A and B are shown apart, each in its own frame.
Chain A
Amino acid sequence: MLQAFKLAYRNIWRNKTRSLLSALAVGIGMALLLLMVSVLDGEMTGALNNTIRLQSGHLQIRPASYDENKVSLKWEDLIADPDQVAAKIKSLPQVTVATPRLSAGAILTLSDESKGVQILGIEPDSAANQPFREGMLKGEFLKADDREGILIGNILAEKFKLGVNDKVNLLVTTSNGDVNEQVFTIRGIFTTRTPAYDESTIFMPLAKAQAITATENHASTIFVMLQNSADAEAVAQALKSNNYKVLTWREQNAFITQFEDFANAFFVILYLIVLGITATVVTNTLVMAVFERTREIGILSAIGMKGGAIMAQFLAEAALLATGGVIGGLIIGGIAVAYFTVYGIYIGDYGITGALFEDHIYAHLTLTNTVNLAIVTYIITLIASLYPARLAARMEPVEALHGAGE
């Protein structure tokens, strides 16, 4: 075996340019796959983390009558005494944050323009709002006792050319079906770097949101964050009650995981195309080598080398090409992935309902994906070399000795 690799190593250097180009083809193929995998993973992980952080939390406690397809402000569709419920949940050791939130549809009007928006009543002091605090671009965050202040997203602000201290009119439907209207002052402008969210979400203190919607001591949901997302199912089980529905992040974000499954399936086809191209290059290189070395194959066969050993000779050559290619792929791919991990790819407003994509996709490469891809590239290269290796092994020595060669 050592001899096979020694001979293979020397044979590779007989035609340096061709060997380097073949290894480069394997390397570029692998680098491309690393980038594709890491971008897809980054996109999905990013969208999921974003949606969990901003919208779904790890868990949400909803009233038993909750229907995800309608926003109802009727008291029977809300959670009564949400502070008490949240305090009870917070006492569980796995829970880091539990805070009530109230969602309501509203229309923002400004002179002759209007836009449908989502009001989110939040407890300003809750740690759950950390992503929003971090995303403050201008002005100040809300205070719990503020009765006139709101925060708006930067996209909405740009669209209506609104700034801090500007006043806007909000029309809200109340729990009993009436319409309420009030002028609010913009206290601050935030960004979550998620265009779909920043264009349509307005924050106000929970107490004010309850007042304007006449929902009093009620909330739409208890937003819960856990120490570890993997505990979601266990905690949901512990919180199960007849009065509430407990939804895990997995249930709430089924769309994203389904989309990821679909994307993965689609990407498998792309992987096969890329690997198919590199395999063709490797096959071609080795077939050329077999024909160039026909006479040598004849000599080796004449002095007693069996077909299997001749085959091993070419497989060893492919293994060395694959090793060079995989190392090259890790370097080229590593650099590309590192760049996109830091700087990301700008995608703008990627409006898919149900998922909050950031305006940049940041590559995210895991060790498992790297190792898997390296192994797959290796195996595909070896499979690609089977045909030329068998071609060499099956040559009749007498024909090989008469063949072309050096």
Chain B
Amino acid sequence: MEVTKVTNATRIFKIGEIETKALRGVDLSVQDGEFTALVGPSGSGKTTLLQLIGLLDQPTTGSVTINGQDATGLNRNQRADLRKNAIGFVFQFFALIPTLTAYENVEMPLLLNGTKPAQRKERVAEMLEAVGLSDRAHHRPDQLSGGQQQRVAVARALATNPKLILADEPTANLDTENGKQVMDIMQRLNKETGVTFVFATHDPRVIGYANRVVTLQDGLIIKDGRANGKS
């Protein structure tokens, strides 16, 4: 089943009189259970593409579907609703809410989608367990290492059981060991739960985990190939 489909998407940014074409007409279809890497040099458009898939931004032309639903023309709140249940995010910076504990950060998307308290508690515990941070549940982000924070972010992204997780340079700010840990966890969850991962990266070690590598350059997909994926 197709989790997301991008059709002939362009994204043009205007700063004053100057137009920058970040995407020049991209077609991409991601199937259920894929572990896909978007690769390419800086400025190739991989983050922009990830943001379009994540409905954080809208294409200038073209369309994006999520789980078969066309997101073109949805307003800000409708996009937020769709994101809430269908997509999880892991960002390059450790995007946790600094005033909330690890537990509360993971709980936040469950609060937003109205999960009942008992189920919420169970699910948060399960997710923290899955990323190996049960013993850090009541620590705030500034009491956690970068790798731990990113693992909390992974747990949060998976909390609502979305079909698609988008990760933008998830290991860019981590050392090799922590980067490996995060990637191992993401890969394990992909295999165990079947959740689809699409991540933007230019780290060769990360690319090695992917079972599909999509290469972008100057706003266009120049290569789309299957890979074995590190196991």
Residues of A that sit less than 8 Å from B by CB: 3, 7, 10-11, 14, 295-296, 299-309, 396-398, 401, 406
Contact = CB atoms under 8 A, between A and B. Distances in A.
B77 interface: yes
Nearest to B57: A398
Contacts of A396: 56-57, 76
A305 B80 contact: yes
B83 A303 contact: yes
Interface string B97-130: 1111000000011011100000000000000000
A401 B47 CA distance: 12
Contact of B100 (A7, A305, A401): A7
Contacts of A397: 56-57
Interface stretch (B29-37, B84-92, B177-185, B206-214): B84-92
B155 to A, nearest CB: 12
Contact of B83 (A302, A308, A406): A302
Given A295-B95, A299-B95, A304 B57 contact: no
B96 to A, nearest CB: 8
Contact of B97 (A300, A307, A308, A401): A300
Given A303-B89, A396-B57, A398-B56, A10 B109 contact: no
A73 B33 CA distance: 110
Contacts of A296: 97-98
Contacts of B84: 303-304
Interface of A is mostly: helix
B156 interface: yes
A303 B105 CA distance: 11
Interface residues of B, number: 27
B190 interface: no
B175 interface: no
B203 interface: no
**Nearest 3 pairs between A and B by C-beta?**
A304-B84, A10-B99, A398-B57
B40 interface: no
9 contacts: A10-B100, A296-B97, A299-B97, A302-B89, A303-B89, A304-B85, A307-B80, A401-B56, A406-B98
Nearest to A305: B112
A309 B56 CA distance: 17
Given A305-B112, A398-B57, A11 B89 contact: no
Interface in B61-80: 76-77, 80
B147 interface: no
A14 B140 CA distance: 13
Given A304-B83, A398-B57, A3 B111 contact: yes
Contacts of B81: 304, 306
B99 A14 contact: yes
A299 B95 CA distance: 7
Contacts of A309: 112
Interface string B11-31: 000000000000000000000
A307 B99 CA distance: 20
A96 B157 CA distance: 80
B80, B96, B108, B112 pick with most chain A CB within 10 angstroms: B80
A11 B100 CA distance: 10
A397 B82 CA distance: 14
Contacts of A304: 80-81, 83-85, 109, 112-113
A275 to B, nearest CB: 30
B51 to A, nearest CB: 5
A130 B187 CA distance: 95
Given A304-B81, A396-B57, 9 more contacts: A299-B97, A300-B97, A302-B91, A302-B95, A303-B83, A303-B112, A305-B112, A307-B77, A309-B112
Contacts of B83: 302-304
B56 A306 contact: no
B54 interface: yes
A195 B27 CA distance: 92
Given A296-B97, A406-B98, A303 B108 contact: yes
B14 to A, nearest CB: 13
Given A10-B99, A296-B98, A306 B77 contact: yes
